[in-house]
Amino acid sequence: MIWAKNLLFVAVIGGGVFTLGLNLIPPAKPTVLTEYHSPAPSNLPVEAVNQAFRKQWEDEGVTPVEPAPDLIVARRLALGLMGTVPSLEEIRQFEILPADQRIDWWLDHLFADQRFADYFGERLARAYVGTEDGPFILYRRRRFVSWLSEQVAANKPYDTLVRELIAGDGLWTDHPGTNFISVTSRPEMKNQPDPVRLAGRVTRAFLGMRLDCAQCHNHPFAAWKQTDFEGLSAFFGRTDIGFGGVHDGKTGEYEVETKAKDGTRVVDPKVPYAPELLPHTGTRRQQLAAWVTHKQNPFFARAVVNRVWALMHGRPLFEPVDNLDPSADVPPALDILANDFVAHGHDLRRLIRTIAKTQVFQLDSASDRQVGETEEKAWAVFPLTRLRPEQVSGSVLQAASVATVNAESHILLRLMRYGQQNEFVKRYGDTGEDEFEGRGGTIPQRLLLMNGEMVRERIKENPLNASSRIAWLAKDDPRAVEAAYLAVLSRRPTSVEREHFEKLLADPSVKRTQRLEDLYWALVNSTEFSWNH
């Protein structure tokens, strides 16, 4: 018996070492490893969106810049959809495809990747419930996020997903969507969900409106009244949390305090606009969910289109991302995309693909002409936006590895990555719920990238690190420099850069692996690395 056990142990360890070893060898001759057979999407409204922008540019007398290289477009997509730069391995595969197939292949590749589901799940979670830890017993944030990831992975129609969040019943542990409700419960309220916070969340996350300002006073620039907000809150007036989890009672009224001492008055559920879309059957939450996601409720699709646009561009089409002012003009592109989204089954992937293929998304962020704020405002040049902490840490880890670090990577690698990433994001300073904060970086962020442990560990001499592998395996210096540039910045060096770094690599006074490490350090600390462009 003991023998068998020992043998098993040796086999397990040996197997582990073997797979790790396989990971060490970079693909010598790239072939397209994966082919995707999703039906070619037709009739995407790409041209309509392009025309809308062209008209705007013409009206404003703005000239768009040239298209960006397709590797840079791939980088934007990788960062926006899965929070990391493409791996050197992926870049090699991308580049052997014919130019006109690359972006579609890349999108298929991303959609099939668990990293997309995880990253997008977290982004949706932040929009829905923020980052707070919430009530200890009644709320499971991680269950909620992984449930959202599963819905993204299954490409569940977005309206169905949202209906489950607003109207779902059950325990937050086995019906994780109900965490959306239970997160608002507080001990001071006898652990019952808070209708006021729920109404605020629903309007902000799903309709892109900050109706919660009307919680205390009439909205300063929109048409919302305090009574609109109370009417919405009343839809949650019968929702309670009991042994069976979140549940709607058949009776009970929503009451608010009046100014008179101990005075209350009953508020009936009421939607702030388009009452004809509200069904007459179902629980109050089901009615609200149907109204929010109704095909003729224009704010529902606009809100999600605006958010997805922002995740991909680093900047929403209409700012701020969750305050679609009903009295302001909506950019025509927003409505074109929103209408298509509703007409084609609330399909998030179709929406992402459409945006990815528009002229605006594929524009360069640089130009030989003088471009500035006017062009950025008109989307005539791709905006420069700061990357999120997860995007920066994900990119450091990916750039430090030749092979793709994904769900199929070795478990040891993934564990290491997970631990390091959490620590890094904590120090870098999570921006929390504010996903699209445009201001410059901080001193601790720069210190962390220059001197921090994760960067040091990931660029130093180590058989697992790309810097060492490139140093050993690249046939000559020009190729080593190019490989490093592709792995970190997803582009090839300019002639000036090539010359500088080839000279650096030829310096015999420093070990070659250390010279590669220095090259990596310079690339990782550049503006280009920490900004979406």
Contact footprint for another protein (CB under 8 A): 130, 132-133, 135, 186-188, 197, 200-201, 204, 210, 212-213, 320, 323, 364-368, 370-372, 376, 384, 386, 427, 429, 431-434, 437, 439-448, 450-452, 456, 493-494, 496-497, 500-501, 504, 510, 514, 518-519, 521-523, 525-528, 530-531, 533
Considering the complex, what minimum distance in angstroms separates the CB of residue 449 from another protein? 9
Considering the complex, what minimum distance in angstroms separates the CB of residue 99 from another protein? 22
Q: How far is Cα 337 from Cα 343, in angstroms, rounded to an integer?
A: 10
Considering the complex, what minimum distance in angstroms separates the CB of residue 384 from another protein? 6
Which of 162, 182, 166, 163 has the alpha carbon at shortest distance from 244?
A: 182
Q: How far is Cα 416 from Cα 426, in angstroms, rounded to an integer?
A: 16
Residue 227 in tokens:
């009574």
Considering the complex, what minimum distance in angstroms separates the CB of residue 186 from another protein? 6
- Cα distances (angstroms) measured from residue 245 to each of 132, 148, 173, 500: 21, 19, 9, 64
Nearer to another protein among residue 141 and residue 353 (C-beta): 141
Nearer to another protein among residue 42 and residue 370 (C-beta): 370
Considering the complex, what minimum distance in angstroms separates the CB of residue 135 from another protein? 7
Task: Check: CB of residue 231 under 8 Å from CB of residue 272.
Answer: yes
Residue type at 182 in one-letter notation: S
Q: How far is Cα 435 from Cα 439, in angstroms, rounded to an integer?
A: 12
Nearer to another protein among residue 406 and residue 525 (C-beta): 525
Nearer to another protein among residue 252 and residue 444 (C-beta): 444
| C-beta neighbour count of 21 within 10 angstroms | 10
Nearer to another protein among residue 24 and residue 450 (C-beta): 450
Nearer to another protein among residue 117 and residue 199 (C-beta): 199
Nearer to another protein among residue 154 and residue 450 (C-beta): 450
Nearer to another protein among residue 155 and residue 367 (C-beta): 367
**Three-state SS at 246:** strand
Considering the complex, what minimum distance in angstroms separates the CB of residue 383 from another protein? 9
- The per-residue DSSP string of 12-55 comes to HHHHHHHHHHHHHSPPSS--------PPPP---THHHHHHHHHH
Nearer to another protein among residue 130 and residue 332 (C-beta): 130
Which of 436, 417, 384, 373 has the alpha carbon at shortest distance from 127?
A: 436
Q: How far is Cα 201 from Cα 132, in angstroms, rounded to an integer?
A: 13
Tell me the chain's radius of gyration from C-alpha atoms: 26
Nearer to another protein among residue 35 and residue 368 (C-beta): 368
Sign of CA dihedral 273, 276, 279, 283: positive
Give CA angle at 160 (157, 165), nearest 5°: 125
Nearer to another protein among residue 76 and residue 197 (C-beta): 197
Q: Respond yes or no on whether the N-terminal peptide bond of residue 98 is cis (omega within 30° of 0).
A: no
Which of 496, 456, 501, 509 has the alpha carbon at shortest distance from 474?
A: 501
| C-beta neighbour count of 298 within 10 angstroms | 20
What does DSSP assign to residue 496? H
Nearer to another protein among residue 62 and residue 366 (C-beta): 366
Give CA angle at 423 (417, 426), nearest 5°: 135
Q: How far is Cα 389 from Cα 428, in angstroms, rounded to an integer?
A: 6
Q: Respond yes or no on whether the N-terminal peptide bond of residue 493 is cis (omega within 30° of 0).
A: no
Cα separation of the two ends of the chain: 61
